[in-house]
């Protein structure tokens, strides 16, 4: 791809999770042009990939918000500023040029930006497989629940003992015909309150047990669950393998940025990495006292973008003032006008 074909912006955001989407809004608010690149085919990062139906309770202003709805609101918030989204593009090669950076994706797209904000969360993640059910992947076997209604009226087996396994068991038991949770140990990693809530329902919880065989020809009809020498068959049409995932930063490790333990990027109080002009926010960064919450990521995104704006133009203050003190951006006025016309 030639330079003339490149997307040219002020800020490139690497990662389209909640922190990245809020950074896209805030960069637009600061009058900067923005591109957002993410290896996943849809925005939302881990939320949309892993728990779009799960309710989140620690986002300011929302007593409870479904993951999918939070992503939709973040996209709506950024929309008036017209960020360019390159989804299904893994950021691979970083070139440092005078006054700018160039990033090429694995699909050959090229983005030239005067600054970069990395909001890649835990990096690229891959679900841990359930070997006994591998042949049914995409045909009854799932690693993440995207739509609760897909499980209505079905016999569901959930494998795992962590938060995701118990969250899905609790969410699905009112909809499914039956829910059976299978865990290879006696104890659980999930939050005790969630475990207690599930145990108070009619969900079958089998411990010291494993799914050793899946029954069915083309479609899942049941599973065999082994516990020591005991083997039992359980009717099942849907399996959720909530066995966790492996994650790594992939190509970001070759960008010449300081990285700790191949997982986290150290940053200053300005959210700047070891490379001037490259910032990091959200779960991917690290500093003393770091707390990995979505709410914290939002604040870090604003800090990173404000310092990026100052880096691009030192005459601009790091803190632009409160949004309530600023004139309403023209893009927001136009968006509001369109909304009124469509009522």
Q: State how far the Cα of 332 lies from the Cα of 283, in Å rounded to an integer.
A: 29
**Quick one: what percent of the chain has pLDDT higher than 70?**
93
Alpha helices in 151-293 (DSSP H): 163-172, 192-199
- Report the percent of the chain where pLDDT is more than 90: 73
The verdict on whether residue 38 carries a ligand-binding annotation is yes
Domains present along the chain, CATH in parentheses: 3-125+246-341 (3.50.50.60), 129-243 (3.50.50.60)
19 annotated to a ligand binding site = yes
- 283 assigned to a ligand binding site: yes
Which residues are within 8 A (CB) of 166 and not within 5 positions of it... i.e. 6 or more apart? 181, 188, 190, 191, 194, 195, 197, 198
pLDDT of residue 241 exceeding 70, the answer is yes
Could you tell me the maximum CA-CA distance found in the chain, to the nearest angstrom? 73
* Residue 201 annotated as binding site: no
324 is in an annotated binding site: yes
> Whole-number mean pLDDT of the chain?
90
Contacts of 12 (CB under 8 A, 6+ apart): 34, 35, 36, 37, 101, 103, 111, 113, 115, 116, 117
Is 105 marked as binding a ligand? Answer: no
Residue 19 predicted with pLDDT over 50:
yes
DSSP conformation letters of 121-149:
TT-EEEEPP-GGGGGGBTTTEESS-S-GG
Reported as a pLDDT band with limits 50, 70 and 90, residue 1 is: very low
**Phi, psi angle pair for 124, to nearest 5°:** -80, 125
278-301 pLDDT per residue, tens: 999 999 999 999 999 999 999 999
Cβ proximity of 123 and 252 under 8 Å: yes
Q: What pTM did the predictor assign?
A: 0.78
Distance of CA 32 to the CA centre of its chain: 24
Q: Is 46 annotated as a binding residue?
A: yes
Summarised one tens digit per residue, pLDDT across range 328-337 is 665 555 555 5
């Amino acid at each position: 791809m030639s330079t003339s074909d490149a997307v040219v912006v002020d800020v490139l955001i690497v990662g389209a999770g909640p922190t990245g989407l809020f950074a896209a809004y805030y960069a637009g608010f600061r009058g900067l042009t923005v591109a957002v690149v993410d290896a996943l085919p849809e925005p939302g990062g881990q939320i949309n990939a892993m728990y779009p139906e799960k309710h989140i309770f620690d986002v300011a202003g929302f007593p409870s918000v479904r993951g999918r709805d939070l992503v939709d609101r973040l996209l709506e918030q950024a929309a008036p500023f017209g960020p360019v989204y390159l989804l299904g593009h893994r950021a691979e090669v970083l070139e440092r040029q005078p006054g700018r950076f160039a990033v090429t994706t694995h699909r050959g797209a090229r983005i030239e930006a005067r600054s970069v904000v990395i909001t890649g969360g835990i990096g690229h993640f891959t679900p841990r497989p359930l070997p006994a059910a591998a042949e049914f992947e995409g045909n009854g076997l799932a690693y993440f629940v995207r739509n609760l209604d897909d499980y209505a009226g079905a016999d569901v087996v959930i494998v795992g003992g962590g938060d995701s396994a118990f969250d899905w068991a609790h969410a699905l038991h009112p909809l499914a015909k039956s829910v059976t949770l299978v865990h290879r140990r006696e104890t659980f990693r999930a939050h005790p309150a969630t475990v207690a809530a599930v145990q108070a329902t009619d969900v079958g919880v089998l411990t010291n047990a494993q799914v050793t065989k899946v029954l069915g020809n083309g479609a899942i009809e049941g599973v065999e669950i082994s516990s020591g020498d005991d083997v039992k068959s359980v009717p099942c049409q849907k399996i959720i393998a909530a066995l966790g995932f492996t994650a790594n930063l992939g190509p970001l490790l070759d960008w010449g940025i300081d990285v700790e333990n191949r997982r986290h990027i150290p940053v200053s109080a300005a959210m700047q990495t070891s490379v001037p002009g490259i910032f990091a926010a959200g779960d991917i960064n690290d500093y003393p006292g770091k707390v990995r919450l979505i709410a914290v990521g939002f604040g870090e995104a604003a800090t990173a973008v404000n310092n990026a704006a100052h880096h691009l133009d030192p005459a601009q203050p790091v803190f632009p003032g409160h949004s309530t003190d600023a004139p309403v951006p023209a893009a927001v006025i136009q968006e509001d006008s369109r909304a009124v016309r469509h009522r």
